[in-house]
Amino acid sequence: MELRHLRYFITVAEELNFSRAAERLHIAQPPLSQQIRDLEIELGVKLFERTKRRVELTTPGKVFLEKSRLALQQVEQAVIAVQKASRGEIGRLVIGFNSSATYSILPKILRVFREQCPDVELDLQELTTRQQCDRLHHNQIDVGILYLPIESETLSTMTILQESLILALAATHPLAALPEVSIKALTQEPFIMPPHHLGGGLYNQILRFFQQTNFIPNVLQEATQLQTTISLVAGSIGIALVPASLQNLQRSGVVYKTLQEPTPEIEIALAWRKQDSSPVLQNFINTVSLIHKSYL
């Protein structure tokens, strides 16, 4: 039995007339009648009662009509699903992201991709840059949104955002009244830094800035997540250098100040396995690329 036999049968059942059914199917009537007879022989069931005046479905024919329609509908749905999968419009994508991205480009990426591919299941995991690299290498996530630079011969990267460092301090801090602050004024201030043992782009860029300005920070506290850093700043535990996009985190008791000295550019990038040919991943990369161009 082939799908065309089901289509022939359904058309005859709807028309209850072999001539009209043949016209709809764009075939001659005798071959259509033969196909229906062959189908009945294969099933061992009489599907139609035929007289010179009319054609009627038998009781088994009515059951077969219902099931045939369901079968064709499932086939059509399967075809649509396969075509969507080939275009990267259906499937599952595991995305790692750093906390900085949540205050900059990530919300727009998710909104646009969700609008374009509502049938793709997204699994979002907030991870450090090192954790993302490890999980990419072990096939535990499909794509990462992380800080550059990273060192890996098996990963591809695409810069999607560049931003400067700014100073976060408590609103009650004496320096909060200044329009901008020099790093030299922070010699005695307690700093909150990303964990040095995790390394990563943000830590390295902050360290690079200190080296460029010959500044030795008084590191009092380490915090893995930027939300935690800002909470500690709000509690007057210390001050911190953070990506400029963190200003979008409207936290009471915290103010952000531009530094007088030029700071390194913090780069956020997309990272994925070079050998990963997933259509869903490629669709996501293309979407992010277009969003990045709109930021330029």
What is 92-156+274-295's CATH number?
Answer: 3.40.190.10
Pinpoint the alpha helices (H) of 52-199.
59-86, 106-116, 129-137
CATH superfamily entry for domain 165-264: Periplasmic binding protein-like II (3.40.190.10)
Cα separation of 139 and 154, whole Å? 12
Please tell me the predicted confidence (pLDDT) of residue 296.
53
Identical topology for domains 3-86 and 92-156+274-295: no
Q: Is 84 exposed, middle or buried (0-12, 13-18, 19+ CB in 10 A)?
A: middle
pTM score, whole prediction: 0.73
Q: Is 250 exposed, middle or buried (0-12, 13-18, 19+ CB in 10 A)?
A: exposed
Per the structure block, which two tokens stand in for 257?
Answer: 């100040």
Cα separation of 222 and 195, whole Å? 5
Q: What is the mean pLDDT of the chain?
A: 91
- Position 159 confidence tier, pLDDT thresholds 50, 70, 90: very high
**Number of Cβ within a 10 Å radius of residue 96:** 26
Pinpoint the alpha helices (H) of 27-119.
29-43, 59-86, 106-116
Answer whether residue 242 shows pLDDT above 60.
yes
- Residue matched to tokens 């911190």: 240
Lowest mean pLDDT among 48-57, 117-126, 157-166: 48-57
22 Cβ contact partners less than 8 Å away, ≥ 6 residues apart: 28, 29, 32
Cα separation of 6 and 213, whole Å? 78
Cα separation of 135 and 140, whole Å? 5
Crossing angle, helix 279-295 and helix 59-86, to 10 degrees?
A: 50
Nearest Cα to Cα of residue 254 among 265, 240, 273, 264: 240
Beta strand 165-170 with 240-243 is antiparallel
Q: How many residues does the chain have?
A: 296
Bridge partner list, 163: 266
pLDDT tens figures, 169-222: 999 999 999 999 999 999 999 999 998 766 567 888 899 999 999 999 999 999
Domain boundaries, the chain: 3-86, 92-156+274-295, 165-264
Instruction: For residues 284-288, give the mean pLDDT.
Output: 94
Domain 3-86 has CATH 2.60.120.890: no
DSSP 8-class letter at 100: G
pLDDT tens figures, 10-25: 999 999 999 999 999 9
pLDDT tens figures, 40-58: 999 999 999 988 788 999 9
